[in-house]
């Protein structure tokens, strides 16, 4: 090895030592932070999985009460699930179950309260149209027609065209707008789907269209 190579190597070592003195602690801190981030993410994932599992078990009890027709237990168990696991998908399902028993009991304000809670939690998610359509149905029953129309307008997914147009027809008929109901139901039938036959029956029961 030539002397100049040896000198260069010594300089490199000195340079590395100097860098380490100036930046060593920062480098260690960066590594530790990266490791902490990985460990934290793994811990969070485990926590989420554990919470989802607990929420799922609680939701099973809500569904058991619903199947048994025990509305009081549906409300009690559903509220307990929502309180403990409000950020889970099961909390939204529990809110829908509570809304159902409220509708069955003709307690429309209570049903809308649960559906409004679910709507805020599902905004922008694939579950939102389901919640919005159920809320629109309840609002029509409560004769809150303008609010029902807004809920229907908020459903833009093509996957829910049939349900949305069917409810638009119901809303129009409730307002005394026969031609509006006809137009909405024609659009629903044109979109196809399993319920097209039932919607066609509603169309057939309308009075004949007025000639212009």
Q: What is the pLDDT of residues 138-183, one digit of tens each?
A: 999 999 999 999 999 999 999 999 999 999 999 999 999 999 999 9
Residue 199's pLDDT band (boundaries 50, 70, 90)? very high
Does the residue 109 lie in any domain? yes
The pTM of this model reads 0.74
Does the residue 114 lie in any domain? yes
Q: What is the mean pLDDT of the chain?
A: 83
Does the residue 22 lie in any domain? no
- Residue 156 CB: number of other CB atoms within 10 A? 10
Does the residue 131 lie in any domain? no
Does the residue 13 lie in any domain? no
Return the minimum-mean-pLDDT range out of 12-26, 94-108, 164-178, 198-212.
Answer: 12-26
Structurally, the chain folds into a number of domains equal to 1
Range of the domain at 58: 48-121
Does the residue 98 lie in any domain? yes
Sign of torsion over alpha carbons 89, 92, 98, 103: negative
Mean pLDDT to the nearest integer, 124-138: 93
Q: What is the pLDDT of residues 33-70, one digit of tens each?
A: 565 555 454 544 555 566 677 888 898 999 999 999 99
The span from the CA of 81 to the CA of 92, in Å, is 10
């Amino acid at each position: 090895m030539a002397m100049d190579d040896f000198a260069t190597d010594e300089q490199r070592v000195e340079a590395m030592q100097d860098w380490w003195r100036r930046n060593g602690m920062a480098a260690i801190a960066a590594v530790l932070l990266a490791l902490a981030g990985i460990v934290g993410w793994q811990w969070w994932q485990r926590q989420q999985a554990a919470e989802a599992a607990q929420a799922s078990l609680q939701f099973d009890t809500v569904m058991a009460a619903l199947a048994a027709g025990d509305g009081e237990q549906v409300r009690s168990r559903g509220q307990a699930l929502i309180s403990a696991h409000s950020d889970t998908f099961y909390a939204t399902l529990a809110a829908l179950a509570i809304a159902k028993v409220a509708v069955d009991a003709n307690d429309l304000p209570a049903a809308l309260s649960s559906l409004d809670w679910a709507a805020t939690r599902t905004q922008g998610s694939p579950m939102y149209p389901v919640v919005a359509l159920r809320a629109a149905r309840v609002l029509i029953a409560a004769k809150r027609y303008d609010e029902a129309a807004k809920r229907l307008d908020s459903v833009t997914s093509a996957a829910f065209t049939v349900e949305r147009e069917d409810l638009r027809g119901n809303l129009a008929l409730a307002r005394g707008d026969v031609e509006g109901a006809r137009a909405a139901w024609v659009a629903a039938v044109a979109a196809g789907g399993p319920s097209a036959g039932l919607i066609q029956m509603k169309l057939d029961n309308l009075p004949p269209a007025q000639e212009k």
